[in-house]
Homo-oligomer: A and B are copies of this chain.
Amino acid sequence: MITTRKTNKRQLILEEAAKLFKQKGFSGTSMRDLAGEVGIEAASMYNHIKSKDEILELICFRVSSTYISQLAEIEATEAPFVEKIKSLIRLHIRLMIEDGAAVSVANHDWKYLPEPALTEFKDARKQYEKGFAALIEQGIAAGEFQPVNVSVALFTILSAVRWVELWYRPGRELSAEELEANIVTMLLTGLEKK
């Protein structure tokens, strides 16, 4: 191994932390729990990370910056708004499947962020929601969408996509692609048959 030496333990800590935080919550997870999962004493972790809070910050901001940069990419494309919204839905599902633990933590445990980070995170989320909402609004103006309340549409989509974290396990009856297709159908054409 060449560079398996430095920050790999740090990475391992972050991964195990995400899993544990998702499972038992941030407050419900002790540094000794986490250390046990990593295969180390609690004290030894402080050779790799500054504090428990820092772990949470790293997880949350990695997720939020991923979402924000991906949103920017989608905004920049030339496509009908229907397609942009579909891309965003697929983005959420994909991230949830690929990095479910971290996304869960960013969704649920952000409230435990210590104060400078807390406002920063909330601002980032608000910025993301604003960009998402703008796409819906423009889609309505362009006549592609029904004239539904924008906030309702936005949060319905954002939430509808969250349950994947609770439900999806690889090797489920549905593949990731089928899952995406089904959710997109639900959200864009609705449950009812016309």
Contact = CB atoms under 8 A, between A and B. Distances in A.
Question: In this complex, which of A146, A160, A188, A191 has the most chain B Cβ atoms within 10 angstroms of its Cβ?
Answer: A191
Given A24-B111, A25-B25, A27-B27, A149 B182 contact: yes
Given A182-B149, A183-B152, A191-B148, A25 B27 contact: yes
Contact of A112 (B28, B112, B146): B28
B149 A191 contact: no
Contacts of A163: 155-156, 158-159
Interface in A90-146: 108, 111-112, 136, 143-146
A171 interface: no
Contact of A191 (B25, B108, B182, B187): B187
Interface in A49-106: 82, 85
B178 A149 contact: yes
B190 A152 contact: no
Given A111-B24, A112-B28, A152 B191 contact: no
A186 B166 CA distance: 22
A162 interface: yes
A192 B152 contact: no
A193 B192 CA distance: 14
A143 B112 contact: no
Interface of A: 23-28, 82, 85, 108, 111-112, 136, 143-146, 148-149, 151-153, 155-163, 166-167, 173-174, 178-179, 182-183, 185-194
Given A25-B26, A189-B192, 18 more contacts: A23-B111, A25-B25, A25-B28, A25-B111, A146-B191, A146-B193, A149-B174, A152-B179, A152-B183, A153-B186, A156-B183, A158-B163, A186-B190, A187-B191, A188-B190, A189-B189, A190-B190, A194-B194
